[in-house]
Structure 1
Amino acid sequence: MRVAIAGAGAVGRSIARELVRSGHHVMLLERNIEHVESDSIPQAEWVHADACELSLLEAANLETYDVVIAATGDDKANIVLSLLAKTEFGVGRVVARVNDPRNEWLFDESWGVDVAVSTPRMLASLVEEAVSVGDLVRLMTFRQGQANLVEVTLPDDTPLAGKPVRKLRLPRDAALVTILRGGRVITPQPDDPLEGGDELLFVAAVDVEDDLRAAINI
């Protein structure tokens, strides 16, 4: 997969290292020449360019990339790049970093954003997850489909303990994708039994979250 990342700060470099380690082709776009340090990630392609400049994106052949990640520390730049990537270059998947939660409402499909990642919101969600056993916690929003990644930790005395996954009567637009149990990551099968303390990860449409709560008795 070919991935273009705008912003070679701590966030952009961390993403690039993970993607390179997984065997993907990565291009890092950075407008500050002092941050262009190709020796730090030699496997990546480094380009000194302002990711908001159309001509520079054309020169970088952005249309040949499968994914664009707008990871700069400037929300305005991330929005502009997202829109250009989607409308001018036809990039299939655009992921944008939200630095200021007050700007999160802008990061949607009308600005070319498929997935908006808000670090403050994610940290808050993780805190909620740690203290909210038996409640539904939103971890991430998938803007294009208006769906959320949500987590529920089953209490130790859950009435679902011992029951197989197939007994969950989930609403139509909700799917159980993973069960986290201790150090295990379980791909749920119909006959797998549920246990108290299980962390259940669902992808669910926003308007069925109440039905999902009812289905898992919270």
Structure 2
Amino acid sequence: MRVAIAGAGNVGRSIAAELVENGHEVLLIDREPAAIKPNSLPQAEWLLADACELSSLEEAGVDSCDVAIAATGDDKANLVMSLLAKTEFGVPRTVARVNHPKNEWLFNEVWGVDVAVSTPRLMSALVEEAVSVGDLVRLLTFHEGEANLVEMTLPPDSPAVGKQIGTMHWPGDVVLVAIIRDGHARPPDRDGSLEARDELLFVTAQDYERELGEMLSPKGVSPQIVTPSR
């Protein structure tokens, strides 16, 4: 997979390092000469250019990318880059960093953004999750609000504790994507069992969140669905 990343600061370089390690082709774009540090990640391509300019994106070959990531510290630049990548170059998937929560409402399909990542929102979600065992926490909303990434820490008295994962019948189109246990993330194993205090990560349509929470909560307990403030 070929990925273009606008913004070669700490965030952009960290994302690039992860993607390179996973075998993807990565191009880092930044308009500041001081940000261009090929020696820090020689496996990636580097381009000194303004990702908000059509000519720069043409030079970068963004039309051949599978994903475009706007990871600069400027929300306006991230929106413009996402819009150009989607509408002018037909990039299948765009991911944009939201620096200021007050701007989060802009990061949607109108501006060519498939996935918006707001660090303050994610952090507040994780804080609320840490003190809310048994509550369903909405961490991230995907393209057009059709699906959410949600988390629930399994209470010790949940009826799901001890059950084999392969026997669980999740409601609707709910998908269990990962389990965090003892601080380590692991993919769900159909032959494995759920344990108390497992942190379960699901992708689900919002319509099924309540049913999912009730399925995992102790009998007679109505789970709270936590949506961090924007």
**Would the TM-score normalized by the shorter structure come out above 0.5?**
yes
Q: Does 1:35 align with 2:35?
A: yes
Unpaired segments of 5 or more residues in structure 2?
Answer: 218-222, 224-230
**SS of 1:176's equivalent?**
strand
**SS of 2:150's equivalent?**
strand
**SS of 1:213's equivalent?**
helix
Structure with more contact order per residue of length (Cα contacts < 8 Å, sep ≥ 6) = 2
Q: Give 1:37 deviation, angstroms.
A: 2.1
Corresponding residue for 1:86?
86
C-alpha spacing 1:132/1:110, structure 2 compared with 1 (3 Å): same
Cα pair 2:95 2:113 within 8 Å, conserved: yes
CA distance in 1, matches of 2:155, 2:214: 15
CA distance in 1, matches of 2:10, 2:89: 26
Q: Give 1:6 deviation, angstroms.
A: 0.3
CA distance in 1, matches of 2:23, 2:116: 24
Corresponding residue for 2:227?
none
CA distance in 2, matches of 1:176, 1:210: 15
Corresponding residue for 1:204?
204
Task: Count how many residue pairs are aligned between Structure 1 and Structure 2.
Answer: 218
CA distance in 2, matches of 1:208, 1:126: 21
Corresponding residue for 1:62?
62
CA distance in 1, matches of 2:68, 2:126: 26
Q: Give 1:87 deviation, angstroms.
A: 0.7
Corresponding residue for 1:215?
215
Corresponding residue for 2:141?
141
**SS of 2:155's equivalent?**
coil
What code does the residue aligned with 2:151 have?
E
Unpaired segments of 5 or more residues in structure 1?
Answer: none
CA distance in 2, matches of 1:166, 1:20: 33
Q: Percent identity?
A: 62
Q: Residues 1-218 of structure 1 correspond to what in structure 2 (within 5 A)?
A: 1-144=1-144, 146-165=146-165, 168-182=168-182, 185-190=185-190, 192-217=192-217, 218=223
CA distance in 1, matches of 2:193, 2:25: 40
Q: Give 1:68 deviation, angstroms.
A: 0.6
Cα pair 2:158 2:216 within 8 Å, conserved: no
Q: Give 1:189 deviation, angstroms.
A: 4.7
TM-score computed with the length of structure 1 as normaliser: 0.91
Cα pair 1:29 1:46 within 8 Å, conserved: yes
Of residues 29-38 and 178-187 in structure 1, the stretch that sits farther from structure 2 once superposed is: 178-187
* TM-align CA RMSD: 1.8
* Structure 1 consecutive aligned stretches of length 4 or more whose deviation exceeds 6 Å: none
**SS of 2:63's equivalent?**
helix
CA distance in 2, matches of 1:37, 1:164: 48
C-alpha spacing 1:26/1:166, structure 2 compared with 1 (3 Å): closer
Q: How big is each residue's C-alpha offset from its partner over 1:125-158, in whole Å with a ceiling of 9 and x where there is no partner?
A: 1112211111111222212462111111111222
Cα pair 1:4 1:28 within 8 Å, conserved: yes
Q: How big is each residue's C-alpha offset from its partner over 1:152-188, in whole Å with a ceiling of 9 and x where there is no partner?
A: 1111222332233355453213222223332554443
TM-score computed with the length of structure 2 as normaliser: 0.87
